[in-house]
Amino acid sequence: MPTHSTAFSIETAGFTDIHDITSRASRFVSSSGVHDGMLVVFVPGSTAGVTTIEYEDGALEDLKNAIARVAPEGLHYAHDARWGDGNGFAHVRAAMLGPSLTIPVLHGRLGLGTWQQIILVDFDNRPRERNVILQVVGE
């Protein structure tokens, strides 16, 4: 089964900075020639994650608020005590969201819902250059 891979970088601001990467993923799938298969989206690192959401201000704000309630900044994190970098909250948030996402490719297109976009979320406590790996498998 053919496999196609690519990667790109995004400059982020950290602190739950959200980026819509749907168009990049869609263009990649289109250019791959895969008609039916799966796309894997992966972000290397332990302080960022990927998921899907309706990319509109209200839903994005709701997501940020929910994440802040579950793993707030300003708490004691054992990671911070050991490493002193102050981003223990970012590691917990990223672990909860996850570093990868699999999306079906149907008839040469991403099998996303009408209002569903793919997002990269950077939780770190500083700006970063994030790499995103896309890999499509199928026929």
Residues 69 and 102: their CA atoms lie apart, in Å, by: 27
Residues 32 and 61: their CA atoms lie apart, in Å, by: 34
Q: Is 54 helix (H, G, I), strand (E, B) or coil?
A: coil
pLDDT of residue 132: 98
Residues 91 and 73: their CA atoms lie apart, in Å, by: 11
Q: How many residues does the chain have?
A: 139
Q: How far is the CA of 14 from the CAs of 36, 67, 104, in angstroms?
A: 35, 14, 29
* Tokens, residue 114: 């009408």
pLDDT band at 136 (very low <50, low <70, confident <90, very high): very high
pLDDT band at 2 (very low <50, low <70, confident <90, very high): confident
Does the model's pTM come out above 0.75? yes
Across residues 41-62, what is the average pLDDT? Answer: 98
For residue range 91-125, list pLDDT tens digits in order: 999 999 999 999 999 999 999 999 999 999 999 99
Delineate the domains of the chain, giving CATH numbers in brackets: 3-138 (2.60.120.460)
Classify each residue of 29-68 as buried b or exposed e, where b means 16 or more C-beta atoms within 10 Å of its C-beta.
Answer: beebebeebebbbbbebebbbbbbbebeeeebeebeeebe
Which strand ranges, in their side-by-side order, compose the sheet holding 48-53? 17-20, 117-122, 48-53
